[in-house]
Amino acid sequence: MDLKWVSAIYFFSDKLVLVNLTLTWWDALRYCRGNHRDLVSVHSEEVQSWVMEVAQKASTDHVWLGLCTPGPGEKTVVPERDLERSNRVEDSSGVSADVPYRYHFVNENKTWTEAQSYCTQKFTDLATINNMEEMKNMNTTLKDKTTSSVWIGLHIGDTGRWLWSLADGGLDSEGEEYRNWRSGEPNNAERREFCVGMYHSDGTWFDISCETPYSFVCYDETKTNSDRYIYIDEPKYWPDAQSYCRENYTDLVSVMNQTEKLEIWNLHNNSNAYVWIGLFNDSWQWSDQSNSSFRYWRSGPDNYGKNGQQQCAVVTEDGQWTNLTCDNKLPFVCRENELVMVNQTLTWKDALRYCRENHMDLVSVHSKEVQSWVMEVAQKASTDHVWLGLRHTCTLSFWFWVSGESICYQNWAPGNGTGGEDCGSGERSGAVESSGGQQWVSLPQTQQLNFICTNYEG
């Protein structure tokens, strides 16, 4: 249904404008933000009385308000500019994915060390890539560039560790990892055994050179029970087996417990063939100290970094990775955190001033996705609560975001976020718990807390 609607010019103004056009809700929202302030939000009986008076002049039976509601699965109906930002690939300046940071391609030839220094000074660090979705976004950003290789933040560290080839780049829980080595394994014979196979006889594991052709087992995260495991009887090197699984299913199989081991072993125990699983020994680490285990090697990496000089990683023209000597001069990709935890303790107003002078603004949380970013960043705080860009007005008795958006998605702790706040001691502002349930709470604006800034508008 197309309706006429009411538009509020400004949050603190009592002037409401009835616009004599018939538009959908989204078109009405776009018109208001382009020509006034926003669709009207009704947070009190006083504002409702203003709306009632203005709405009587409408020629339609109903008029639009700026009221939105979360949809199924708690995916919220977010403001228009948030929708435009989500899931888009930008031009040469970088890429914005569903992650709390952005990539920036820098077309200057530098060594890996020089590139990392540049990124830490101008942005956050060299690019970290956590999963296939981020890898696809980066490849889209780089596809029109004339360079054949660009530095990313992966380089050889001091020590190796056993990691699973997980599609989401996560790690198995520290201290709870399942291992099923045969006696005497792993032994890293000839210092070149960096990948793991499974014996057909009993399902135990051994390490061996990654350049050994074995059959392998993939897994498909879209399926359940034993159907998610797929035995591929086509001998391949470990990196080629990993690529095959990622292209056709989800990844090489991870074995997290005895039950999974038996299910996987039953797929091939009569084949008289060893099979690759997704475990590999890795000395590579991200420059920002990220724990991500995601790797996307084209083949190798060459020498796996052992005693060689090719100790820094690049993304090549085909979108996969290889390793080069770190003193090559190449373009590079930086990562910039969209959210920044500031570990100073300031009042809400001082935190707002700091963010606007040094970044963009105090963070506004318009969706469950942004809330998940905030929860991750807030864990690094030194205070029990962390300021958000959430503000209460005693004059009109409602909460609003400093970015100017209405509150649609909400995550208030019980007893917080009501319109009838106690204003006897002054205005109140919103903060998020740094631990526990990490919900929002109402606090006096004079309290001194850490706070989260955002580097981007919206």
Taking alpha carbons only, the member of 306, 79, 312, 287 closest to residue 209 is 306
Residue scoring higher pLDDT (350 or 404): 350
pLDDT of 441 strictly over 90: yes
Summarised one tens digit per residue, pLDDT across range 107-156 is 999 999 999 999 999 888 999 998 888 888 888 878 778 788 999 999 98
> Running DSSP on this structure, what letter comes out for residue 63?
E
Summarised one tens digit per residue, pLDDT across range 312-355 is 999 998 888 989 999 999 999 998 888 999 999 999 999 999 99
What is the average per-residue pLDDT within 435-456? 93
Q: What is the rounded distance in angstroms from the CA atom of residue 452 to the CA atom of residue 132?
A: 28
pLDDT of 8 strictly over 50: no
Q: Which two tokens stand for residue 219?
A: 């897994």
What is the average per-residue pLDDT within 78-98? 33
pLDDT for position 435: 93
pLDDT for position 1: 42
Q: What type of residue is 340?
A: V
Residue scoring higher pLDDT (307 or 309): 309
What is the average per-residue pLDDT within 447-455? 94
How far, CA to CA in Å, does 374 sit from each of 99, 243, 337, 432? 11, 33, 12, 8
pLDDT for position 307: 54
> DSSP letters of 90-128?
-STT-EE-SSSEEEEEEEEEE-HHHHHHHHHHHSSEE--
How far, CA to CA in Å, does 228 sit from each of 143, 257, 270, 274? 33, 15, 20, 20
Tell me which of 1-10, 200-209, 256-265, 388-397 is least confident: 1-10
pLDDT for position 33: 64
Q: Residue 88: which pLDDT band, with cuts at 50, 70 and 90?
A: very low
Percent residues over pLDDT 90 in the chain: 39
Task: Return the domain boundaries, the chain.
Answer: 3-67, 153-333, 339-454
pLDDT of 29 strictly over 80: no
Q: What is the rounded distance in angstroms from the CA atom of residue 360 to the CA atom of residue 298?
A: 39
Length of the chain: 458
Residue scoring higher pLDDT (46 or 280): 280
Domain 339-454 maps to which CATH number in 3.40.50.300, 3.10.100.10, 3.30.420.40, 3.40.140.10? Answer: 3.10.100.10
Summarised one tens digit per residue, pLDDT across range 226-281 is 889 999 999 999 989 998 999 999 999 999 899 999 999 988 777 778 999 999 98
Residue 289: strand pairing partners: none
What is the average per-residue pLDDT within 304-311? 64
Residue 134: exposure state from Cβ atoms within 10 A (0-12, 13-18, ≥19): buried
CB 275 within 8 Å of CB 256: no
Helix (H) or strand (E) holding 160: strand 149-164
pLDDT for position 89: 26
pLDDT of 10 strictly over 50: no
What is the average per-residue pLDDT within 401-425? 80
Per-chain mean pLDDT for the chain: 81
pLDDT of 452 strictly over 70: yes
The C-alpha R_g of the chain, in whole angstroms, comes to 27
pLDDT for position 174: 46
Q: What is the rounded distance in angstroms from the CA atom of residue 235 to the CA atom of residue 427?
A: 68
- Residue 433: CB atoms within 10 Å: 17
